[in-house]
Amino acid sequence: MILVTVGTQLPFDRLVKAVDAFAKELTKPVLAQIGKGTYTPENMKWIKNIEPADFDRIFREASVIVSHAGIGTVLTAKRFGKPIILVPRKAALGEHRNDHQLATVSQLVDRPGIYVAHDDDELKDYLLQDLSSPSQEDPSDVGRASLVNYLKGYLAAD
C-alpha cells in the first residue's frame, strides 16, 4: 500500500490531486490522509485524519510513504524503514507561510530512502519505481546532528 499523508495542520490539495490523478495506473492501492483539504479523491481510498492509535499500524503496512516535507513524517519513515517521497509545500501557492519545506528537502535530497518530487511527473516516476528503503538505524550520527543543527539555525533565523 502507498500511504499519502499531508499532516493535520494545513491542507495540501495539490499533493492529493496529483496522486489521485494517476492512482489507477499504480500497481499498489493508495490510502490518503487528506487532513483539512477540500479536494475529495475519486481514485483512491482516503480519510481526513488517521487516529493516533492506528497511525503506527498503517505506517507499518505501507510500502512507500508520500508526504509533505514535514520532519515528523520523515523521522517516522526512518523509524519504520520506509522509503518516503517528499513533495514540499510552496509559499507562492499559499500552501505555507514560508518556504522552509524547500530548505528542508534541500538538506535531505541525497539521503538513503528519501526521494524529492518537485512536480507531478517526478512524483509519478517515483511511484512507478521500486524504491529503496532506508535502514532503520542511521549509521551516521554526524549526519543526523548536522541536519538537526541546520534546522535549529534555520528556525532561529526566522
* Alpha-carbon gap, residue 73 to 147, rounded angstroms: 15
Residue 53 — pLDDT band, cuts 50, 70, 90? Answer: confident
Question: What's the pLDDT score for residue 91?
Answer: 64
- Mean pLDDT to the nearest integer, 27-36: 94
What pLDDT is stored for residue 139 in this prediction?
Answer: 45
Helix (H) or strand (E) holding 33: strand 30-33
From residue 135, alpha-carbon distances to 83, 101, 113, 140, 150 in Å are 10, 23, 8, 11, 22
pLDDT tens digits, one per residue of 94-144: 667 776 777 788 888 888 999 999 999 999 999 999 888 876 544 455 566
Looking at per-residue pLDDT, the higher value among 90 and 67 belongs to 67
